[in-house]
Amino acid sequence: MCGHGTTIGGPLSHFKSLLALIPNTYRSRIGICVDTCHSFAAGYDLRSPSSWNSFMEEFDNEIGLQYLRAFHLNDSKTPLGSRRDLHANIGTGFLGLRAFHNLMNDKRLEGIPMILETPIDRPAKSEAEMATGKLDDENGVCKGDHSNETDSKKKNNSAKKGPTKKAKPGKSVMIEDKSIWAKEIKLLESLIGMDTESDEFLRLEAELAEQGKEEREKHQTMFDKKQEKESKQRDLRDMFSTNGKVKGKSKAGTTGAGKRKKSKEDNTDYSD
Whether residues 127 and 87 share a domain: the answer is no
Q: Residue 249 falls within a domain, yes or no?
A: no
Q: Residue 251 falls within a domain, yes or no?
A: no
Tell me how many domains the chain contains: 2
pTM of the full structure: 0.69
- pLDDT < 50 regions, the chain: 1-3, 138-164, 249-272
Neighbouring residues of 92: CB distance < 8 A, sequence distance ≥ 6: 75, 208, 209, 211, 212, 215, 216
Whether residues 94 and 182 share a domain: the answer is yes
Per-residue model confidence as pLDDT tens digits over 9-31: 678 999 999 999 999 999 999 99
Neighbouring residues of 49: CB distance < 8 A, sequence distance ≥ 6: 102
Identify the pLDDT of residue 146: 41
Whether residues 163 and 201 share a domain: the answer is no
Q: Residue 65 falls within a domain, yes or no?
A: yes
Q: Residue 134 falls within a domain, yes or no?
A: yes
Whether residues 73 and 91 share a domain: the answer is yes
Identify the pLDDT of residue 150: 46
Identify the pLDDT of residue 270: 30
Which domain range does residue 135 map to?
A: 121-142+159-174
Q: Residue 243 falls within a domain, yes or no?
A: no
Per-residue model confidence as pLDDT tens digits over 234-270: 665 666 655 555 555 444 444 444 444 444 444 434 3
| CA distances from residue 132 to 149, 150, 168, 218, 228 in whole angstroms, order as listed | 18, 20, 16, 30, 44
Whether residues 95 and 126 share a domain: the answer is no
Identify the pLDDT of residue 122: 83
Identify the pLDDT of residue 242: 54
Identify the pLDDT of residue 271: 39
Identify the pLDDT of residue 245: 54
Whether residues 228 and 163 share a domain: the answer is no
Beta strands in 74-227 (DSSP E): 75-76, 87-88, 114-116, 121-123, 174-176
Query: What is the rounded CA–CA span in Å between residue 188 and residue 208?
Result: 13
CATH number at residue 75: 3.20.20.150
Q: Residue 99 falls within a domain, yes or no?
A: yes
Identify the pLDDT of residue 256: 46
Whether residues 135 and 92 share a domain: the answer is no
Beta strands in the chain (DSSP E): 32-35, 68-73, 75-76, 87-88, 114-116, 121-123, 174-176
Whether residues 57 and 170 share a domain: the answer is no
Whether residues 28 and 56 share a domain: the answer is yes
Q: Residue 272 falls within a domain, yes or no?
A: no
Q: Do residues 52 and 102 make contact, with C-beta atoms less than 8 angstroms apart?
A: yes
Whether residues 191 and 114 share a domain: the answer is yes
Q: Residue 195 falls within a domain, yes or no?
A: yes
Whether residues 24 and 69 share a domain: the answer is yes
Whether residues 95 and 185 share a domain: the answer is yes
